[in-house]
């Protein structure tokens, strides 16, 4: 019963736009006949039945080709029978527009041409019955050809515009999805990559001192355990975000106040790190988190590539800008610094907050990452 009710509601929703055509046909056909005394056949029940069929045919919007065929057959029968011209003719451009708006232009043109051919034959038959002339047939044919072309062009333009809007919407959705995947990849690279790099270095330290310094090895393994737990927490948070869990379940993004803990993990991996943060920086929350991520990724590169013994982190305020600098005493270069994912991610992060980032080897050896961002900008 529910399905029947839903189908009935759907058909009613499709039919109601045709009610003005139906009303015009039923009300206006009689008065229109008064001014056409040359009509070969007076109005009767069949004429009004054809008016009703032609008016309601465009309601079949799910199958506009069939609707056009039904409308064309009803109008052609009306004309061929010799009934007077009337509002039934208004249904023709409506049916043509519907099929042009719903079907590809080529297919719509074929359907409209076939429908137009049937109407031309009906017009010829009507003219013969009314003792009309060839010039009347020609003028009527040209008039309806122009009407059909206008209705066809209007429907095609609506379809093209609708497809363009749909294409833009789909392209925007794909771009948003791609940007979200890139953001997730960058977040995983920044957080999990740092953790894995620190774990690898800490494990190497533990193996190196295991025989001669068991306490040092124990300390390094404890650092491995702490770092691995933090990396797992970060991975779990990213997976929750990927599944679409509520943002409230995620821990807040770490900021510069977490630099001490970050430095301790790097020190446990065997690299001496000094951290200098100017007090009273008054940073926007997004800038604070971005600065921490830049420092974390720069130190991750130190762990992976630099072969350095020391690293220095400096965060200061320069007027309206925040300056972040990470230098090391390593070999002075990282693999593919201009195109590496880490440096590209740091540069994109700085640019996202209205800043810029430079990275490269130092003249006297070592490597430097320098970022400048507006301190008060909000992402």
Q: What is the CATH number of the domain that holds 282?
A: 3.30.565.10
> Is the residue at 301 inside a domain?
yes
Question: In the structure encoding, which two tokens stand for residue 123, read together?
Answer: 């017009």
The pLDDT assigned to 371 comes to 92
Residues in the chain, overall count: 379
Domain boundary among 113, 132, 151: 132
> Is the residue at 324 inside a domain?
yes
Q: How far is CA 358 from CA 106, 298, 327, 347, 372, in A?
A: 56, 12, 12, 8, 9
* Cα-to-chain-centroid distance, residue 42: 59
> Is the residue at 120 inside a domain?
yes
> Is the residue at 188 inside a domain?
no
The pLDDT assigned to 336 comes to 45
Q: Percentages helix, strand, coil for the chain, rounded to the nearest 5? A: 70, 10, 20
> Is the residue at 117 inside a domain?
yes
Domain containing 377 equals 258-379
The pLDDT assigned to 357 comes to 92
> Is the residue at 230 inside a domain?
no
Residue 257: in which H helix or E strand, if any? Answer: none
102-116 per-position pLDDT tens digit: 888 888 889 888 988
Question: In the structure encoding, which two tokens stand for residue 363, read together?
Answer: 């003249």
89 DSSP 8-state letter: G
The rounded distance, in Å, linking the Cα atoms of 88 and 74 is 9
Whole-structure pTM over 0.75, yes or no? no
> Is the residue at 285 inside a domain?
yes
Domain boundary among 84, 108, 132: 132
Q: For the chain, how many structural domains are there in total?
A: 2
The rounded distance, in Å, linking the Cα atoms of 90 and 77 is 15
Domain boundary among 108, 132, 156: 132
The pLDDT assigned to 315 comes to 92
Residue 210: in which H helix or E strand, if any? Answer: none
> Is the residue at 202 inside a domain?
no
User: Along the chain (379 residues), what's the average pLDDT of each consecutive run of 10 residues?
Assistant: 54 65 85 80 89 85 84 90 88 89 88 88 82 79 89 90 88 80 67 66 67 71 71 71 56 78 80 87 84 86 73 89 88 50 81 89 86 73
């Amino acid at each position: 019963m529910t399905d029947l009710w839903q189908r009935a509601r759907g058909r009613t929703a499709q039919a109601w736009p045709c009610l003005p055509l139906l009303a015009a046909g039923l009300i206006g056909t009689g008065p229109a006949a008064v001014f056409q005394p040359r009509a070969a056949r007076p109005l009767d029940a069949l004429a009004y039945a054809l008016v009703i069929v032609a008016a309601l045919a465009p309601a079949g919007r799910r199958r506009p080709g069939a609707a056009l065929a039904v409308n064309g057959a009803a109008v052609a029968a009306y004309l061929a029978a010799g009934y007077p011209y009337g509002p039934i003719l208004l249904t023709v451009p409506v049916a043509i527009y519907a099929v042009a708006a719903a079907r590809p232009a080529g297919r719509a043109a074929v359907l409209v041409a076939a429908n137009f051919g049937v109407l031309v034959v009906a017009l010829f038959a009507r003219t013969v019955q009314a003792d009309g002339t060839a010039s009347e047939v020609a003028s009527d044919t040209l008039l309806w050809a122009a009407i059909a072309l206008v209705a066809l062009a209007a429907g095609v333009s609506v379809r093209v515009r609708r497809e363009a809007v749909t294409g833009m919407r789909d392209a925007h959705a794909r771009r948003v999805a791609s940007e979200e995947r890139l953001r997730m990849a960058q977040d995983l690279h920044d957080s999990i990559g740092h953790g894995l790099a620190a774990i690898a270095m800490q494990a190497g330290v533990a193996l190196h001192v295991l025989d001669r310094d068991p306490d040092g090895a124990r300390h390094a393994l404890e650092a491995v355990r702490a770092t691995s737990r933090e990396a797992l927490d970060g991975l779990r948070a990213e997976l929750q975000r990927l599944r679409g869990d509520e943002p409230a379940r995620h821990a807040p993004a770490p900021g510069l106040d977490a630099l001490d803990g970050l430095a301790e993990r790097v020190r446990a991996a065997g690299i001496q790190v000094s951290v200098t943060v100017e007090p009273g920086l008054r940073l926007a929350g997004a800038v604070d988190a971005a600065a921490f991520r830049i420092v974390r990724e720069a130190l991750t590169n130190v762990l992976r590539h630099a072969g350095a013994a020391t690293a220095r982190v400096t965060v200061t305020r320069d007027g309206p800008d925040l300056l972040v600098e990470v230098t090391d005493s390593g070999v002075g270069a990282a693999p593919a610094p201009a195109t590496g994912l880490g440096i590209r991610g740091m540069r994109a992060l700085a640019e996202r907050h209205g800043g810029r980032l430079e990275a490269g080897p130092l003249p006297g050896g070592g490597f430097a990452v320098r970022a400048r961002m507006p301190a008060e900008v909000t992402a």
